[in-house]
Amino acid sequence: MTADELRSKYIAFFKSRGHTQIQGKSLIPDNDPTVLFTTAGMHPLVPYLLGEAHPAGTRLTDYQKCIRTGDIDAVGDPSHLTFFEMLGNWSLGDYFKEGAIEMSYEFLTSPQWLGIPVEKLGVTVFAGEGAVPKDDESAEVWRRLGIPEERISYRPREDNWWGPAGTTGPCGPDSEMFIDMGR
């Protein structure tokens, strides 16, 4: 599958789930002195993640060009790049963890979309830190969908935390999906 085919399938999937496609933004953020470049797909959506109403609604999907420098020392291995595109699906107060995980799982595993065998999937969830508890809620959703316990890994903040785009802003624990490529 080419990058264009994957991008098209992703957007089509989320549009079929009631999301409106929005355009990605410039690599140079508008009116944001906290970062030099757009560093993540969520960056252009910060005002809306903080509660401002988005003109396109509460369910959005997009692809966003990004430049990542925070992990520049790791660039060159199979999973760290400086310039890439992030595919995004966004809920602005519409659904939360369960809905996001269920849709991601369906996109990855359904034969209509990517058709990745469930036995090749592994996931990570936030291990907890300080006042932020372990994310057992996400782990339970993954178990219910068929991911066995041995393929659910609790990871620290450095691995399972999104944002903020600059020094402050929206941020929180995340859950990530990995495909065993058999290497």
Predicted confidence at residue 165, as pLDDT, reads 66
Q: Sorting pLDDT into bands at 50, 70 and 90, what band is 166?
A: low
How many Å separate Cα 141 from the centre of its chain?
A: 16
Percentage of residues in the chain having pLDDT higher than 90: 64
Are 6 and 78 found together in one domain? yes
Are 113 and 87 found together in one domain? no
Which of 42, 69, 94 is where one domain is finished?
94
Percentage of residues in the chain having pLDDT higher than 70: 97
Strands (E), 68-181: 83-91, 121-126, 152-155, 161-162, 172-173, 176-179
Question: Where in the sequence is the domain holding 106, given as residue range(s)?
Answer: 96-183
Are 101 and 81 found together in one domain? no
More confident residue, 166 or 132: 132
Q: Residue 23 maps to which CATH number?
A: 3.30.930.10
Are 1 and 90 found together in one domain? yes
Instruction: Say how many domains are in the chain.
Output: 2
Helices (H), 17-132: 46-49, 97-109
Residue 85 burial class via C-beta count within 10 angstroms: exposed 0-12, middle 13-18, buried 19 and up = middle
* pLDDT tens digits along 132-153: 999 999 999 999 999 999 999 9
| pLDDT score of 163 more than 80 | no
Predicted confidence at residue 141, as pLDDT, reads 98
Are 72 and 106 found together in one domain? no
Predicted confidence at residue 127, as pLDDT, reads 97
Are 100 and 72 found together in one domain? no
Are 13 and 100 found together in one domain? no
Region at 104 (left for phi over 0; alpha for psi -120 to 50; beta for the rest): alpha
More confident residue, 37 or 179: 179
* pLDDT tens digits along 76-126: 777 777 788 999 999 999 999 999 999 999 999 999 999 999 999 999 999
Are 105 and 166 found together in one domain? yes
This prediction has a pTM of 0.89
Predicted confidence at residue 160, as pLDDT, reads 85
Are 46 and 104 found together in one domain? no
Which of 94, 113, 133 is where one domain is finished?
94
Are 39 and 117 found together in one domain? no
Q: Contact, 39 vs 70, CB < 8 A?
A: yes
Q: Sorting pLDDT into bands at 50, 70 and 90, what band is 69?
A: confident
Are 137 and 79 found together in one domain? no
Predicted confidence at residue 172, as pLDDT, reads 87
* pLDDT tens digits along 21-51: 999 999 998 877 777 888 888 888 989 988 9
